[in-house]
Amino acid sequence: MPESQVPIDWLADEHPQEECGVVGIYAPSEDVARMAYFGLYALQHRGQEAAGIAVADGHGIRMHKDIGLVSQVFSPERIATLKGDFAIGHVRYSTTGSSSLRNAQPFLIDTQYGPIAVAHNGNLVNASELRAGMLRSGVGFSSSSDSEVLTMMLAGATGTTWFERIQNTMRLWRGAYSLVILTGDQLYAVRDPWGIRPLTVGMLPTGGHAVASESGALRSLGCQAIREVKPGEVIMLTNTALSVGQALPPAERTALCTFEHIYFSRPDSFWDGQSVHQVRQRLGMHLAEEAPVGADVVVPVPDSSIPAAIGYATRSGVPYNDGFIKNRYIGRTFIEPTDSLRKMGVMLKYNVVVENVLNRRVVLIDDSIVRGNTTGPLVKMLRDAGASEVHVRITCPPIRHPCFMGVDMGTYDELVAHHHTVEEIRQISGADSLAFLSLEGMMKAIGRSDGYCNACYTGVYPFEVNAHTAKTGFEQAVGGQE
């Protein structure tokens, strides 16, 4: 598919954009490419811009990747050409680098140690410095992605084994990285010492193992004995066994991403050993305790807010019902709408169930307000459908700071809560009332007092972040290549 046909994100979305998803398979005598395809299909919500699969047969690596959804990139005929015992896959949302084929993953290169392919979920905050140093050493780059920086650093790493090379290179990386790395006859799963992004491993029912960004994808493959890859850990899959090495000690304070619970992860996944669905229900319960309001019905903004709305309704005693029906296929499209359809905005993405809100006081539950583009139109849709009152409740604190660890929250200029008070946001949205869950209430719902990154709420990052190490700094450094 030519670059001019990249998906057009014409419908402004309130939520932070999905990051990326990775999968790795070792299954001798199985169709590993097909298994990787279904693993990526289960992770499609984490990235819809590009997809790729690389397969190793014990000697070399074959790969196919392209712009588009998993089902668009891979046909049965294409999958049939990818033969081997090992596979890695990737679905991408561009957190650094433009949405183009050259930034699609996995990255595959030949090295002095043989071929390697790398798929990455996360973002290095020191990528611009690392890239500049490699350019001075004569290393060239073909993309504008920090994931290629990781790949090229691995290619030039020192060590007698790939584990040693990975370990030596990890010491230089600062930021979020959950990786799957493929060689001609081995597969490695790597997680940063802060544990920022998720990564899980499980045993396949037919023998072998699989790794994926979420446990839900592993269960889709029938995996058993699923556990999370520990911070700083490297899991090695070879044709003999699974082995585990602690490449770096876990950070003194881990920094798991709170937003995995709030929005990113599928509700059937586990994150930090907890059911995401149950955590979201508890978020709604705590929100009902902190911000009660007289109402007739509780409705969610589908889909990630559904468990929270159930929790809010359970704790408040206000009945739950559907208020919106979501068109799940409209978020990214290869066909740009007409001007008149574009002006309809969220009306193309959501339809109101009029009978459930007519003449009723509505509590509208959503997981976040980021840029402030969607809340107002949703409130207006409810009013136009006959709701007598609309009270908005958000299951996390106001997002006032960008994320530099792999989530496209937006810049300071784009974050509505960075420039406006809660009351001002309420006025902008047209809601009768607006309340956010407190930081304390959110962490109570998660069941943790520390160990999480809440920088998008507090501005306190797990490591130093500045203009030269942040996402925008990296993009400016490579901007001439776009």
Q: For 313-371, how does the pLDDT look when each residue is reduced to its tens digit (9 = 90+)?
A: 999 999 999 999 988 776 555 555 666 666 667 778 899 999 999 999 999 999 999 99
CA distances 157 to 111, 200, 332, 401, 451, Å, are 10, 26, 38, 35, 31
Q: Using an 8 Å Cβ cutoff, are 213 and 198 in contact?
A: yes
At residue 29, the pLDDT reads 87
103 and 241 co-located in one domain: yes
Q: Which residues contact 308 (CB under 8 A, 6 or more apart)?
A: 280, 281, 283, 284, 287, 300, 365, 367, 395
113 and 202 co-located in one domain: yes
Q: Is the pLDDT of residue 59 over 50?
A: yes
68 and 200 co-located in one domain: yes
Per-residue pLDDT band at 407 (split at 50, 70, 90): confident
Identity of the residue numbered 330: I
At residue 339, the pLDDT reads 65
Q: Answer yes or no: is 367 a known binding residue.
A: yes
Q: Is the pLDDT of residue 474 over 70?
A: no
More confident residue, 102 or 155: 155
429 and 312 co-located in one domain: yes
Domain enclosing residue 446, as ranges: 270-450
341 and 221 co-located in one domain: no
Mean pLDDT of 403-408: 87
Whether 200 is in a domain gets the answer yes
Helical spans, DSSP H, in 115-193? 127-136, 146-155, 162-170
Q: Which residues contact 354 (CB under 8 A, 6 or more apart)?
A: 385, 386
Q: Answer yes or no: is 304 a known binding residue.
A: yes
52 and 21 co-located in one domain: yes
Return the DSSP state at 213: S
Return the DSSP state at 3: G
Catalytic residue numbers? 20
Q: For 364-405, how does the pLDDT look when each residue is reduced to its tens digit (9 = 90+)?
A: 999 999 999 899 999 999 999 999 999 999 999 999 999 999
Q: Answer yes or no: is 396 a known binding residue.
A: no
**How many folded domains does the chain comprise?**
2
Q: Is the pLDDT of residue 6 over 70?
A: no
Whether 470 is in a domain gets the answer no
286 and 237 co-located in one domain: no
What CA dihedral angle connects 317, 318, 320 and 325, to 10 degrees? Answer: -160
360 and 408 co-located in one domain: yes
Can you give the CATH number for the domain in which 373 is found?
3.40.50.2020
345 and 397 co-located in one domain: yes
Handedness of CA 348, 354, 360, 363 (dihedral sign): negative
Can you give the CATH number for the domain in which 87 is found?
3.60.20.10
Percentage of the chain beyond pLDDT 90 is: 79
At residue 433, the pLDDT reads 98
Asked which of 221, 255, 289 is the last residue of a domain, the reply is: 255
Whether 460 is in a domain gets the answer no
Whether 430 is in a domain gets the answer yes
Question: Of 205, 301, 232, 335, nearest to 13 (Cα)?
Answer: 301
Mean pLDDT of 279-300: 98
> Average per-residue pLDDT in the chain?
90
Q: Is the pLDDT of residue 44 over 80?
A: yes
Q: Answer yes or no: is 268 a known binding residue.
A: no
| pTM (2 d.p.) | 0.91
250 and 279 co-located in one domain: no
